[in-house]
Chains A and B, each alone.
Chain A
Amino acid sequence: MARATDLIGLPVVTFAGEDIAEIKDVVYEPAQGGLVGFTLNKRGFFAGRLKLVLAMDAVHALGRDAVMVEDESALVDTREAPEAMTDASSERNVIGAAVITDGGKQLGTVTDVVVSLGTGAEAVGYELGGSAITAEHGRRPLFIPLPEQLAVSGEALMVPAEVEAFVRDDLSGFGAAVADFRARLHHESEPR
């Protein structure tokens, strides 16, 4: 588990051991709850924006120390990238949105997106700050699992009330909460 912002600045490294770019920003699509990809900077002293982007399906794995790709062909021109990569309206507008349960309780505001690491990495939750709940926790951030489907507007995210039972205050134990939460959603959607 890592925060999406922890990925910023990581090198993009090929299997051949070359660092071909570094992560400038994480492109996230809140309505589908997915990581779309990354915008990139050049590596080295003359670092500046790279005109190439890295789509999530070209990523081999997200790690603590590097974003791994098979080879240079993973980086594509902006014109060949998925539309969501270049659609400015979908870019990171989830940060600052209020999270409200369908029971009518505000859990906090989104301060970061939590992603799983490794191969098949994906967005799994949100880091929340600034609410009555975090005040109770000594103003430490809280983590909530990401529902597979949710309503999202520019100002708020609507989540099922069940999410409250899976709120965690440390990232290391959060993986289990995500798995439990997803298992429960699937269980409830099955016909009885």
Chain B
Amino acid sequence: MSSFRHAHAIPVMSKASAEKVGQIKHFVVDATTRKITSAQIDGNKKHGVMVSWDDIQAVGDDAVIVESDAVLRDAANETEERAARGELVMLDKRVLDDQGDELGLVQDVVFDPATGEIEAINVGREIVEGDRLLGVGSYAVVVQAFRAD
């Protein structure tokens, strides 16, 4: 188990050179698959600002491991470009349910470091299971309303 809050600013290390190639800034999430698709990297303008989830070999407590700095790239699609501009950051964003009620602000996002799957969104007074995620936009994170059935 890992979380966005915990992973924020941890170093991204190259397995080939044992050098730090940058640090984690944000994760880009695909709401349809409820998985992390890429990570935005700070501190390596030369090689680019994005790394695909598939190029991340390990997410540990103290570092994220990639093969080399060659996997760093520029934003490759509209979602990544918007993410690079900071529009799709989940942390501290308002959470709306599909009934139009605000649940609070995103305190943290818990994910499986092996698969990148979003397991839960901590909204403070409520933990929203990952499979209730509907969308991550510039205005809000949208989740299915809780149904007691």
A interface residues, Cβ below 8 angstroms from B: 10-11, 13-19, 60-68, 117-119
A18 touches B96 (CB 8 A): no
Q: Which of B50-102 contact A (CB under 8 A)?
A: 96-102
Q: Is the CB of B99 within 8 A of A17?
A: no
Is A117 within 8 A of B135, CB to CB? Answer: no
In the bound complex, do residue B102 and residue A68 qualify as a contact, i.e. CB atoms below 8 Å apart?
A: no
Could you tell me if A117 and B140 are in contact, using CB atoms closer than 8 angstroms? no
Q: Is the CB of A17 within 8 A of B140?
A: yes
Contact check, B137 vs A117: say whether CB atoms are below 8 A apart.
no
Determine whether the beta carbon of B100 is less than 8 Å from that of A65.
yes
Q: In the complex, are the beta carbons of A16 and B31 less than 8 A apart?
A: yes
Chain A CB within 8 A of B138 CB: yes
Known: A66-B96, A68-B96. A16 touches B135 (CB 8 A): yes
Residues of B within 8 A of A119 (CB): 98-99
Tell me if B139 counts as interface (CB < 8 A to partner A).
Answer: yes
Candidates A10, A14, A67, A118; contact of B135 at CB < 8 Å: A14
B134 within 8 A of A: yes
Contact pick for B139, options A10, A13, A61, A67, CB 8 Å: A13
Assembled-state Cα–Cα distance A11/B138 (Å): 13
In the complex the two chains form, is A65's CB within 8 Å of B98's CB? Answer: no
Q: Mark B19-33, 1 if CB is under 8 A from A, else 0.
A: 000000000000100
Contacting pair A63 B134 (CB below 8 A): no
Which chain A residue lies CB-closest to B100?
A: A63
Q: In the complex, which residues of chain B have a beta carbon less than 8 angstroms from the beta carbon of A10?
A: 100
Pairwise interchain contact B101-A64, C-beta atoms closer than 8 A: yes
B141 at interface by CB-CB < 8 Å:
yes
Does chain A have a CB within 8 A of B12? no
B136 at the interface (CB under 8 A from A): yes
What A residues does B99 contact at CB under 8 A? Answer: 61, 63, 68, 117-119
Chain A min CB distance to B124 (Å): 15
Nearest to A63 among chain B residues (CB) is: B100
Cα distance A68–B144 in the bound complex, in angstroms: 11
Closest Cβ of chain B: how far from A3's Cβ, in Å? 15
Q: A63-B96, A66-B96, A68-B96 are in contact. Are A13 and B101 (CB under 8 A)?
A: no
Q: Is the CB of B100 within 8 A of A19?
A: no
Give chain B residues whose Cβ lies under 8 Å from the Cβ of A64: 100-102
Contact residues in B for A17 (Cβ distance below 8 Å): 96, 135-142
Residues of chain A within 8 A of B97, CB atoms compared:
63
Nearest CB of A to B49, in Å: 22
List B101-136 residues whose CB lies under 8 Å from chain A: 101-102, 134-136
Given A16-B31, A17-B136, A18-B137, answer yes or no on A65-B101 (Cβ-Cβ < 8 Å).
yes
Contact indicator B135/A11 (Cβ below 8 Å): no
A67 to B135, alpha carbons, bound, how many Å? Answer: 15
Tell me the nearest residue of chain B to A43, going by C-beta: B139
Residues in B with CB closer than 8 Å to A11 are: 139
Report the separation of the CA atoms of residues A11 and B102 in the bound assembly, to the nearest whole angstrom. Answer: 12
C-alpha gap A45/B73 in the complex (Å): 34
